[in-house]
């Protein structure tokens, strides 16, 4: 029995929550992956925007090994130096003043929702609890975050859902104004809807939304789980819009593949999370925050956000040039190295064909090819990926 078949057999002990490709990946280096049959793949998925520094980056590996030799876990009942240093790296390089560490993006968004409610109810004493979110958004798989998510498919079978969420169309100012009431605690959104089809927020709309939040005393929460850590050409995507959220969330690229999440907020919100009001057993362990430190030091120190902007411009320019006139391609859009190719029909078979050709890409909805190369991707690797994608889409348009 081959190793791939062995892996498939072992999966019988797992819940079938993932529609897995018939591939078992066993090794990674930079932009490249190898399966258990020795086949090599160019990775333009990055574990869904997780391995932003490529696979097995040496500087992160060194920090992890060093910490593994020293201390793994002690509980948040003690001071954890790595945690404090990692938090300072975030606050020094963002608009935030305080950070809470957790284990995932969903947990980070849960923390943001809880903080928004508790700040309004326990600090401001105004009783506000409603969160406004947007159609086609994605915020997680817990009951609260899937309720916040603006996609019906993730909610099926989980009724009743928690109350206190309103979902409206994105870039519709009238809908936003109509949704605001005296119970509105926060507005929560992604600067680029990634899972929802690679849709950047309209800058004019974002300006109006931020102004409305300020005027009405509504907290602005930005979900940076997929857009953060240099992915869009800035360390955080909100920087493109000239705004400062009250709260923003991180995960995915924050740990270079190690599971970690974080919620960051402005100074005024510190009162919302006092001792005992929220917590996480594994949030911000010495191991996790050693990885966060090394990741942030690398991205900031090597100015990889600027590199992502340059490489993203090159990727989109190449795609637009090569795909111009292709009847099956409707639009190439994105920000930095978060790029989508919207097609006139389903793209599942294109993803499979790309994989057969040695290129790993992912969807963002049924008709959008999503490209997420790491921040260190080379022009030669981009050219290789564009060549494969172009050939596949040319065949589709015939």
pLDDT digits (tens, 9 = 90+) for 158-179: 999 999 999 999 999 999 999 9
Q: Outline where 164-266 has alpha helix (H).
A: 173-179, 203-216
Which is more confidently placed, 1 or 76?
76
This prediction's pTM: 0.96
Contact assessment for residue 187 and residue 131, using Cβ atoms and an 8 Å cutoff: yes
Give the number of other CB atoms < 10 A from CB of residue 215: 8
Whether 10 shows a pLDDT value over 80: the answer reads no
pLDDT above 50 (res 151): yes
Is the pLDDT assigned to residue 237 strictly greater than 80? yes
**Mean of the per-residue pLDDT values of the chain:** 96
Report residue 315 CA to chain centroid gap: 20
Q: Which CATH class is domain 58-301?
A: alpha beta
Q: Which helix (H) or strand (E) holds 63?
A: helix 58-68
Q: What is the pLDDT of residue 396?
A: 82
Sign of the Cα pseudo-torsion (322, 328, 329, 330, in order): positive
- The whole-number average pLDDT for the span 60-85 is 97
CA distance 114 to 245: 16
Q: What average pLDDT does range 344-371 have in this prediction?
A: 96
Tokens of 225: 């789980």
Q: Nearest 5°: phi and psi at 203?
A: -60, -40
| Residue 380: exposure state from Cβ atoms within 10 A (0-12, 13-18, ≥19) | exposed
Would you state the pLDDT for residue 329?
A: 96
**At 7, is the pLDDT very low, low, confident or very high (cuts 50, 70, 90)?**
low
Structure confidence at residue 12 (pLDDT): 87
Share of the chain above pLDDT 70, in %: 97
Q: Which of 205, 200, 204, 199 is nearest to 187 (CA)?
A: 205
Asked if pLDDT for residue 85 goes beyond 80, the answer is yes
Average pLDDT (210-229) is 98
Is residue 48 classed as helix, strand or coil in its secondary structure? Answer: helix
Q: Are strands 219-223 and 184-189 parallel, antiparallel or unpaired?
A: parallel
State what percent of residues in the chain have pLDDT above 90.
95
């Amino acid at each position: 029995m081959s190793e791939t078949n062995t892996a498939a057999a072992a999966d019988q002990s797992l819940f079938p929550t993932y529609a897995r490709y018939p591939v078992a990946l066993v090794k990674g280096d930079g932009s490249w992956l190898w399966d258990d049959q020795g086949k090599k793949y160019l990775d333009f998925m990055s574990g869904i925007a997780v391995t932003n520094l490529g696979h097995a980056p040496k500087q992160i590996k060194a920090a992890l090994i060093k910490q593994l030799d020293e201390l793994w876990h002690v509980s948040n009942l003690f001071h954890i130096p790595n945690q404090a240093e990692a938090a300072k790296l975030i606050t020094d390089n963002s608009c935030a003043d305080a950070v809470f560490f957790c284990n995932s993006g969903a947990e980070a968004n849960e923390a943001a929702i809880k903080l928004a409610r508790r700040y309004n109810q326990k600090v401001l004493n105004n009783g506000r609890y409603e969160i406004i979110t947007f159609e086609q958004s994605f915020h997680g798989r817990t009951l609260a975050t899937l309720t916040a998510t603006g996609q019906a498919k993730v909610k099926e079978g989980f009724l009743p859902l928690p109350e206190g969420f309103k979902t409206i169309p994105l870039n519709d100012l009238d809908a936003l104004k109509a949704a605001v009431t005296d119970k509105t605690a926060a507005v929560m959104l992604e600067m680029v809807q990634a899972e929802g089809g690679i849709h950047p927020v309209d800058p004019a709309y974002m300006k109006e939304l931020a102004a409305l939040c300020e005027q009405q005393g509504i907290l602005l929460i930005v979900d940076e789980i997929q857009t953060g850590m240099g992915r869009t050409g800035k360390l955080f995507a909100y920087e493109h819009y000239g705004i400062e959220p009250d709260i923003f969330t991180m995960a995915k690229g924050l740990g270079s593949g190690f599971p970690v999440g974080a919620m960051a907020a402005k100074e005024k919100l510190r009162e919302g999370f006092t001792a005992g009001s929220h917590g996480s057993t594994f949030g911000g362990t010495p191991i996790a925050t050693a990885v966060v430190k090394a990741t942030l030091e690398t991205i900031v120190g090597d100015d990889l956000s600027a590199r992502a902007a340059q490489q993203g411009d090159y990727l989109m320019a190449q795609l637009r040039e090569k795909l111009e006139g292709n009847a099956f391609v409707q639009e190439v859009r994105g920000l930095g190295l978060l790029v989508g190719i919207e097609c006139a029909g389903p793209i599942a078979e294109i993803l499979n064909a790309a994989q057969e050709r040695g290129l790993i890409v992912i969807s963002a909805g049924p008709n959008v090819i999503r490209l997420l190369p790491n921040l260190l991707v080379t022009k030669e690797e981009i050219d290789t990926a564009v060549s494969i994608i172009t050939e596949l889409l040319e065949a589709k348009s015939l």
